[in-house]
């Protein structure tokens, strides 16, 4: 309960407290990882106006703890965009007291415990990151953009971030408008090379999926079905680039009237 109270205490424009926890079995003991965070506006890759505090009882070398956190942040908090604005006070820290009784993790090489710990930490960070994105100021929907079959993972990250940061795409999600041209446009100005006539764009939501764009062209989809999917509280856009094996996912939200109202009235 103290953790929940702390998560509530650090809220600003957040509408819900953000916290998560997980247990993982390592050699010699059960390790617990818990996290709490705040962040709703001025959220963009490189973390921005967010605070995240993670604690664990794992016994692990400091350098390996930092390495695991850096990897986790790279696929979670650094893949969020609410409004494209960054700030100077972003923080993500992890504290480990070593009281779990597990065999101390001292090496990455051939160490299943390090891999298990790192993956558990990623799960916690991804959980919090998705909550932040879904609780963006004024938002009505979580927008998750997955890019698959890009030239590389690096390209996929850039492409996914470009779409998630597109104000026109975010506005279309708010309007439940299947304007796949805005998505293709955002992919195009990302700076990554790809053949637009090979790209497929699909949307998933409310338990349904629909291909909007096939080989860079309109698929002839049903507007009614698309509107139903885009009315979901969580919308996933999948961009299949058909040019390699790279993949990445970014997290954001729709852009609403309330975002403007909140930031017109809010004095920081």
Reply yes or no on whether 55 is catalytic: no
The low-confidence residues of the chain, meaning pLDDT below 70, are 1, 42-43, 45-49, 87, 110, 266-268
Residue with tokens 């996914």: 160
Catalytic residue among 13, 15, 49, 91: 49
Structure confidence at residue 1 (pLDDT) = 66
Structure confidence at residue 25 (pLDDT) = 95
Q: Where are the alpha helices (DSSP H) in the chain?
A: 2-9, 62-75, 112-134, 153-164, 167-174, 180-188, 223-230, 257-265
Max Cα separation, the chain?
A: 59
* Global confidence as pTM: 0.88
Which residues lie below 8 Å from residue 36, measured CB to CB, with a gap of 6+? Answer: 3, 6, 7, 10, 17, 18, 19, 52, 53
Structure confidence at residue 47 (pLDDT) = 56
Structure confidence at residue 208 (pLDDT) = 95
């Amino acid at each position: 309960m103290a953790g929940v109270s702390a998560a509530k205490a650090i809220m600003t424009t957040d509408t819900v407290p953000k916290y998560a926890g997980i247990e993982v079995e390592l050699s010699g003991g059960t390790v617990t990882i818990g996290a709490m965070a705040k962040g709703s506006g001025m959220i963009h890759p490189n973390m921005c106006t967010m605070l995240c505090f993670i604690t664990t009882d794992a016994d692990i070398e400091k350098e390996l703890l930092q390495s695991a956190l850096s990897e986790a942040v790279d696929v979670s908090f650094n893949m969020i965009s609410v409004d494209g604005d960054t700030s100077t006070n972003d923080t993500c820290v992890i504290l480990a007291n070593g009281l779990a009784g597990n065999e101390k993790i001292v090496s990455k090489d051939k160490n299943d415990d390090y891999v298990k710990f790192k993956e558990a930490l990623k799960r916690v960070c991804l959980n919090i990151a998705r909550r932040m994105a879904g609780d963006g100021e004024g938002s009505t929907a979580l927008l998750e953009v997955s890019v698959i079959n890009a030239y590389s993972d690096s390209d996929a990250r850039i492409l996914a971030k470009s779409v998630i940061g597109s104000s026109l795409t975010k506005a279309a999600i708010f309007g439940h408008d299947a304007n796949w041209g805005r998505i293709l446009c955002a992919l195009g100005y990302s700076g990554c090379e790809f053949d637009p006539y090979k790209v497929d764009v699909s949307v998933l939501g409310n338990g349904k999926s629909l291909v909007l764009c096939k080989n860079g062209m309109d698929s002839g989809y049903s507007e009614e079905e698309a509107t139903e999917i885009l009315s979901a509280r969580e919308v996933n856009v999948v961009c299949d680039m058909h040019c390699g094996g790279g993949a990445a996912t970014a997290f954001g939200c729709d852009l609403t009237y309330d975002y403007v109202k909140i930031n017109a009235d809010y004095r920081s």
